[in-house]
Copies of this chain bind each other. A is one copy, B any other.
């Protein structure tokens, strides 16, 4: 059963709103095991809309149209369905009375344009709207199903969940498969290297399929399986997931919704340690990421953003001679920042960053960023060379700092087994205060 989605609205084509409806419906189609090969958007134009409906039914078994079923002049979806399906417009007297009563209960006279919502393509079933006045539409044609739902998410989603998805699953009958996705999150390898490492799986594995997604230095490996039941789909994924984990080792840091900040906070909780930050070039991005997690306060004590050099000196106790000897952008300063912040903040673990984020070089080439991690066991620092502009350098360094902290907290950095740590050496070099 292949389903397409078609959003209607000139405001989408002008970029005034984002098409989050398509995303919401896409998630539900995937969960229901329904195939979804195309999404489209057209404006409030009856000819283009009718053509888009026909194009969709030329390649899919059903099309779900969002928007264009309200009461105003630019609500043209009903007319376009009539044109595309070759049916005439019918009028529901009973629904017109219902609309009049709805307005009258609110003590207001109904604008006559609202009667437009009592029109429907002949033969279409009306889907009740629990949150508004425009009913949804379901029309079975020789070319496939046409559904129309409101563009307002609160009105649309109950129709999708309560009516359209169950109907399509019944129609799909035989192959009512479930689609399950598993996202393995990794850090420490480039996207292209990950692609190479899994070229064989990508080529040969059809169920689950294997895909790669990159964001801010993290590479995600997505395994998507289709089966009759959720359990069967998970069973198909399990051996491939095990293989991915075997090949990537400690570079897999989490799965699905687990972000690196969640992983770090959970590890600290296990260890019974508290966390602090001492940031220069990242300017508070690390503490902002950490405190975005609800409940971070059980572990996170606070941070210091030491932007001016004399704050590193005054607040963080970085000795002048250290700065003179090694420079502010040095592993030595990153280590001292972390350790002194641990004192000042009363934190067991501190992540520190000093660096030159650009665009102009500060002491060292723009993009030279140094991460330090203080733990009760050790203090380490690592110099990173980040490509790109200031924004990218800061964002990637923030992600890298959280990952280096995780490795420090799981013993990979300085004490993990050689196998686990293999390949990660290039990121790490022990520093010292």
Contacts and interface: CB of A to CB of B under 8 A. Distances in A.
A154 B387 CA distance: 13
B211 A74 contact: yes
A37 B12 CA distance: 10
B36 A39 contact: no
A39 B15 CA distance: 11
A231 interface: no
Contacts of A302: 304-308, 311, 315
A107 B30 CA distance: 41
A267 interface: no
A247 to B, nearest CB: 14
B283 A111 contact: no
Contact of A25 (B15, B30, B152): B15
Q: Is the interface of A mostly helix, strand, loop or mixed?
A: mixed
A73 interface: yes
A43 interface: yes
A294 B390 contact: yes
Interface in A373-392: 385, 387-392
Interface in A280-299: 281-288, 290-292, 294, 296-297
Contacts of A303: 283-284, 304-305, 307
Q: What is the copy number of this chain in the assembly? A: 2
A167 interface: no
Contacts of A417: none
Interface stretch (A135-143, A188-196, A403-411): A188-196
B106 A385 contact: yes
Interface stretch (A16-24, A82-90, A169-177, A235-243): A16-24
B71 A195 contact: yes
A104 to B, nearest CB: 12
Interface string A221-252: 01010000000000000000000000000000
A250 to B, nearest CB: 19
Given A19-B23, A41-B38, A211-B74, A308 B314 contact: no
A114 B211 contact: no
Contacts of A279: 284
Contact of A37 (B11, B48, B290): B48
B301 A307 contact: yes
Which bracket fits the contact residues of A? 35 or more
Nearest to A311: B302
A11 B392 contact: no
Given A16-B213, A39-B41, A45-B37, A192 B111 contact: yes
A351 B272 CA distance: 33
Nearest to A297: B307
Contacts of A290: 283
A13 interface: yes
Contacts of A72: 191-192, 194-195, 202, 212
A284 B278 CA distance: 11
B359 A294 contact: yes
20 contacts: A11-B222, A13-B36, A16-B213, A16-B222, A17-B23, A37-B42, A37-B45, A37-B48, A38-B41, A39-B40, A72-B202, A73-B199, A73-B202, A107-B426, A112-B196, A277-B284, A283-B292, A301-B308, A302-B305, A305-B305
Given A15-B24, A73-B203, A301-B308, 8 more contacts: A13-B37, A74-B202, A111-B193, A131-B389, A282-B291, A284-B286, A285-B288, A288-B288
The 10 closest A-B pairs by CB, nearest first: A283-B291, A284-B284, A15-B26, A15-B27, A72-B195, A284-B287, A303-B305, A39-B41, A71-B192, A284-B288
